[in-house]
Amino acid sequence: MWRVTLKGLLAHKLRLALTALAIVLGITFIAGTFVLTDTLHNTFTSLFGNVYQNVDLQVRGVAQLGSSGGSATRNALPQSLVASVRAVPGVAAAEGSVQGLNVQYVSPQGKAISTGGAPNIGVSFDPDQRVSALRLAQGGPPTTPHDVVMDLGTAQKYGFKVGQTVRILLPFAPPADFTITGLARFGTANNLAGATLAAFDLPTAQAILNRVGTVDSIDVVTSPGADKARVQRAIARILPPGVEVVTGQTVANEQTSAINSALAFFNTALLVFAFIALFVGGFTILNTFSIIVGQRTRELALLRIVGASRRQVFRSVLGEAAVVGLLSSLIGLGLGVLAAMGLEALLGAFGVTLPSGPLVFEGRTVVVCLIVGVGVTVVSAISPARRAVRIAPVAAIAEQQTEADIPLRRRFTWGAGITLVGIVALAYGLTKPLIELVGLGAVLIFIGVARLAPAVARPMSSVIGRPMAGMLGMSGRLGRENSMRSPRRTAQTASALMVGLALVSAIAVFGASLSGSAVSSINDALNADLIVTPVSNVSGAVPNAVVPVAAAAPGVTASSSIYTGKFELKGELNTLTATSTKDLSKTVNLAMAEGTSGSLAAGQLLIDTTTASAKNLHVGNVVPVTFAETGRSTMRIGGVFKANALIGRYLVSDGFYRAHYASTELPVAVLLRTDGSPTAEAAVTHALSGYPNLKVQTKAQFEQSQRAQVNQLLGLVYALLALAVIIALIGIVNTLMLSVFERTHEIGLLRAVGMRRRQVRAMIRSESVILAVFGAVIGIVVGTGLGIALSSSLRSQGITDIVVPVSSLVVFLVLAAVLGLIAASWPARRAARLDVLAAIASE
């Protein structure tokens, strides 16, 4: 039986290739994801290991908020502590350093240099290479308040040279010009994961970053032969409360762990899209093997006559699937490296910059891909294999083989039951929320709908095919009849496309709802006429010097600065928003449900209605809070406001905020109210012309920028989902090719009675369009429902408007028809080129 299986595969190489292609693409995506994330992990591990290879110990503040790793919030250290550490026996060198964000270069063209998501970092440069993370590649260190060392990556990208003057936008002072004295690498990399680096001497960096008299950490190198553990204990004894000393390896591990945590989400997101592609590929394989079993009815019955048992037939079909899965997985693994480079390029096109390094191909990648590839193929072939077992030996002598099907009532019962369970799981997962349950619910809904689809395949094919029958005449009518001939096959072929377009439609509804909610929330949240924000929404901030300049511009009557920071409430980490109270009502529409906004001036906390309900909090309650700078305390709730997208969940006054946060905190936006004069916007823009890292927008422009951000994210998701749609189209091609093979005799007779090649091609194409439109209609309906459910479940997170983008859904439907037409090109040409006499003679 094993030899029979292999000979059957070799006898149908084209069928093997088309069946394998769906799995090849999915496994390629999985392998590419693992290769890319493993490469990034190795790159960052090597990078931080190289940076801290000479640092034996580091003195730093104890973690105040967040985890204890590299992402924790820590307080600054007094600079006087550097001398005390340096005096500890066994310490060869001890140097303090500072670093901060929003130190941004201006390009030679006068534009702020943006990094596509990575931060603009300012640091102190330590010329002692034993403790410095920066390695000079050209030039020398900064020695005066007007010197800067630039990272080599930025210099190469924008053409900067040693000795050249560069303008830098500073967070706590007006922009200034600096002389580039050197170009440096971060460890062995040209920069830090795409970030720009501006390095100054320590006094200058402290002044620029508002760290005068303090340092962020102290790097220590021990004397040769010294006992590092003993030196660490000696340093610990002289440290004040709230300060700790750890090994350099600990710091490197924490930085690597923080990066890996971010990569874990990135890896999971890409794998989700890869498994979606494989899930769609599973429908394609199921349909292909179902058709193959139907076409091999006589062959399988003959095997039963000559002694093959039911178990052997079952194993034969699954063996064929296993071979296809194995070969597909091996090919997919080979293409994984190309996929990794393609994913990196795709993310780069959407503004995500990743560091480069040697590609890493782990053994785990091979094992996972082989298990998944073979597993998906075999599982998808189980149902056709069971159908093959039920073929009676008498079928070997039957003149016609009919395609056995599950009774309609049984199919409807199972389909409705699976769909109902999926809906319940999805609803429960969205309310908790439990993302795993949401995924399971969606999968069950797709499987249930796929089982229900044959019940409507015949009437829907009839309706969809009627216009083509009118336009194409006999070719259109035959294509329509062919689609109606086998409802199960039509439904199974369309199911793959149904899943792909359902996901695309769900994302479209979610994106439209998110965009619509953002716009309406902005209208409800803002009274301001102009909004000043950073060009970079990821890590940017508004320099302190900008606030008085913008407020003094002609036509401006009121201004408010918006701050955000982390704090803990009842032990839970949250985001706290702060704003000035003087002109609050003129710039922010704060609708109070309980209490008054005047309580902000008394240092009290305002919360939104959603938080008040979820945490059972009321005006007058006292809650425990923790701030990084001032530690644990309590706050009284002074009011409850209606949901406001700008403010978020928690609000305090800017005075309270500055008293409890580091002096290095900057506004994230400035809201301006004008007198309504048409020149006010131009006046503010002119006043801030020296800050190319900022943008001045009207409320309408701000709304448009929010839409643009949503659309950019949707574009990336659509690009990743495109693979699932492509696999679905491969399924249509595969089905049509097998259908042409199955109907060779029929096509030969049609050609013999006068049908032209052009009419044969039109018949196959019309059948393909019906399949594609049928799958698209079901997919759009299911996807719209999923999108509405997802958006509704996030109402408390700010999605207040449910928007169904009808125009986009219509475009998807038309695009599906076009893609169906394209998918039919090869099978249609193959059918048209059949030799008439040979086709008539075939069985």
According to the model, what pLDDT value does residue 330 have? Answer: 92
Does residue 386 register a pLDDT over 70? yes
Give the residue numbers spanning the domain of 740: 457-524+701-843
Distance CA 277, CA 142 (A): 53
The residues pairing with 106 across neighbouring beta strands, listed in sequence order, are 112
Residue 651 neighbours by CB under 8 Å, 6+ apart = 576, 577, 578, 579, 590, 600, 605, 606, 607, 641
According to the model, what pLDDT value does residue 402 have? Answer: 47
Does residue 487 register a pLDDT over 90? no
Contact yes or no for 823/768 (Cβ under 8 A): yes
Examine residue 425 and state whether it is found in any structural domain, yes or no. Answer: no
- Tens of pLDDT, residue by residue over 426-476, are 888 888 777 788 888 888 998 899 888 888 888 998 999 888 888 888 888
685: phi > 0 → left, psi -120 to 50 → alpha, else beta; which? alpha
Same domain, 179 and 117: yes
Q: How many residues does the chain have?
A: 843
Residue 495 neighbours by CB under 8 Å, 6+ apart = 283, 287, 446, 449, 450, 453, 775
Task: Count CB neighbours of 624 within 10 A.
Answer: 12
From 76, 36, 91, select the one nearest 209 (Cα to Cα).
76
Distance CA 652, CA 637 (A): 10
Distance CA 745, CA 842 (A): 6
Higher pLDDT, 191 or 482: 482
Q: Which two tokens stand for residue 582?
A: 């003087």
3-class DSSP assignment, residue 399: coil
Residue 26 one-letter amino acid: G
Same domain, 670 and 709: no
- Tens of pLDDT, residue by residue over 533-560, are 988 655 568 888 888 999 999 999 999 9
Residue the block writes with tokens 């710091």: 251
Element (H, E) at 122: strand 120-124
According to the model, what pLDDT value does residue 159 have? Answer: 92
Contact yes or no for 118/105 (Cβ under 8 A): no
Same domain, 560 and 503: no
Per-residue H/E/C for 640-703: EECCECCCECEEEEHHHHHHHCCCCCCCCEEEEEECCCCCHHHHHHHHCCCCCCEEEEEHHHHH
From 508, 503, 506, 484, select the one nearest 774 (Cα to Cα).
484
Does residue 353 register a pLDDT over 70? no
| Structural domains in the chain (count) | 3
Examine residue 45 and state whether it is found in any structural domain, yes or no. Answer: no
Distance CA 470, CA 457 (A): 20
- Tens of pLDDT, residue by residue over 177-227, are 999 999 998 877 777 767 789 999 999 999 999 889 999 999 999 999 899
According to the model, what pLDDT value does residue 796 have? Answer: 67
The verdict on whether omega for the bond into residue 433 sits within 30 degrees of 0, i.e. cis, is yes
Same domain, 732 and 806: yes
Residue percentage of the chain with pLDDT more than 70: 90
Work out the pLDDT band at 624, boundaries 50, 70, 90.
very high
What ranges make up the beta strands (E) of 526-676? 530-534, 556-569, 572-579, 592-595, 605-608, 622-627, 631-641, 650-653, 669-674
Contact yes or no for 437/449 (Cβ under 8 A): no
The answer to pTM > 0.85 is no
Same domain, 568 and 517: no
Contact yes or no for 112/120 (Cβ under 8 A): no
Same domain, 592 and 686: yes
Higher pLDDT, 233 or 666: 233
Element (H, E) at 61: strand 57-61
Query: Which range has the worst mean pLDDT, 282-291, 340-349, 503-512, 720-729?
Result: 340-349
Examine residue 288 and state whether it is found in any structural domain, yes or no. Answer: no
Examine residue 558 and state whether it is found in any structural domain, yes or no. Answer: yes
Residue 756 neighbours by CB under 8 Å, 6+ apart = none
Examine residue 165 and state whether it is found in any structural domain, yes or no. Answer: yes
Same domain, 611 and 489: no
According to the model, what pLDDT value does residue 214 have? Answer: 93
Distance CA 50, CA 67 (A): 24
Contact yes or no for 419/443 (Cβ under 8 A): no
Does residue 323 register a pLDDT over 90? no
Does residue 399 register a pLDDT over 80? no
Residue at a domain's end among 185, 210, 235: 210
Does residue 407 register a pLDDT over 70? no
Task: Count CB neighbours of 19 within 10 A.
Answer: 32
Residue at a domain's end among 628, 660, 690: 690
Examine residue 76 and state whether it is found in any structural domain, yes or no. Answer: no
Examine residue 39 and state whether it is found in any structural domain, yes or no. Answer: no
Residue the block writes with tokens 């044959």: 454
According to the model, what pLDDT value does residue 160 have? Answer: 95
Higher pLDDT, 783 or 189: 783
Examine residue 372 and state whether it is found in any structural domain, yes or no. Answer: no
From 111, 75, 487, 394, select the one nearest 241 (Cα to Cα).
75
Q: At what angle do helices 13-51 and 699-742 cross, to 10 degrees?
A: 140
Higher pLDDT, 47 or 231: 231
Burial class of residue 211 in the structure, from the number of CB atoms within 10 Å of its CB (0-12 exposed, 13-18 middle, 19+ buried)? buried
Does residue 91 register a pLDDT over 80? yes
Residue at a domain's end among 195, 210, 225: 210
According to the model, what pLDDT value does residue 843 have? Answer: 57
Residue-averaged pLDDT of the chain: 84
Burial class of residue 370 in the structure, from the number of CB atoms within 10 Å of its CB (0-12 exposed, 13-18 middle, 19+ buried)? middle
Residue 630 neighbours by CB under 8 Å, 6+ apart = 659, 660
Residue percentage of the chain with pLDDT more than 90: 26
Work out the pLDDT band at 9, boundaries 50, 70, 90.
low
Same domain, 730 and 793: yes
Same domain, 756 and 805: yes
Same domain, 790 and 829: yes
Query: Which range has the worst mean pLDDT, 51-65, 144-158, 565-579?
Result: 51-65
Contact yes or no for 642/591 (Cβ under 8 A): yes
Same domain, 686 and 705: no
Work out the pLDDT band at 311, boundaries 50, 70, 90.
confident
CA distances from 687 to 111, 255, 537, 670 (A): 16, 40, 21, 14
Same domain, 677 and 754: no
What's the first-to-final CA gap in the chain, in angstroms? Answer: 25
Does residue 96 register a pLDDT over 80? yes
Residue the block writes with tokens 């590649």: 137
Could you give the angle at the alpha carbon of 825 between the alpha carbons of 821 and 828, nearest 5°? 110
Please provide the DSSP assignment of 244-305 as one string: EEEEHHHHHHHHHHHHHHHHHHHHHHHHHHHHHHHHHHHHHHHHHHHHHHHHTHHHHHHHHH
